[in-house]
């Protein structure tokens, strides 16, 4: 699940980088788009692998969303210089606690 979230987070960060020109056409034609598409495709294969091995979609989706969110926040902070408020930081901590609780249940 972490690998899937990591691939999508990297792809989305690259989309933001590719779209910096402000033009949809130039973003779509950006050479990074091939890597972005490859990352999305590999993530799909990872999800299929999880489901073939009897992964629960409810658990997978929730943990994926938490990992993805945290990774996107990290990319925003590190790569794009974005900032978080105290409330947003608390939300991230609560999401991580929720992911641990979801994963330990059952």
Rounded mean pLDDT of 82-100?
90
Cβ atoms of 14 and 20 within 8 Å: the answer is no
pLDDT in tens, 34-69: 999 999 999 999 989 988 988 788 888 888 888 898
The confidence score (pLDDT) of residue 55 equals 77
- Quick check: 28 pLDDT over 70? yes
**Domain ranges across the chain:** 2-104
Closest CA to 28 of 7, 8, 14, 42: 14
Q: Among candidates 9, 72, 18, which has minimal Cα distance to 42?
A: 9
Judge residue 11's burial from the number of C-beta atoms within 10 Å of its C-beta, 0-12 exposed, 13-18 middle, 19 or more buried. Answer: buried
């Amino acid at each position: 699940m972490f690998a899937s979230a990591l691939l999508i987070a990297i792809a989305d960060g690259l989309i933001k980088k590719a779209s910096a020109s402000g033009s949809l056409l130039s973003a779509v034609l950006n050479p990074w788009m091939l890597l972005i598409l490859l990352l999305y495709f590999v993530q799909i294969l990872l999800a299929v692998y999880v489901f073939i091995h009897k992964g629960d979609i409810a658990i997978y989706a929730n943990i994926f969303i938490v990992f993805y969110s945290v990774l996107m926040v990290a990319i925003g902070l590190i790569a794009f210089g974005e900032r978080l408020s105290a409330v947003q930081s608390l939300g991230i901590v609560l999401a991580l606690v929720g992911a641990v609780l979801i994963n330990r249940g059952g």
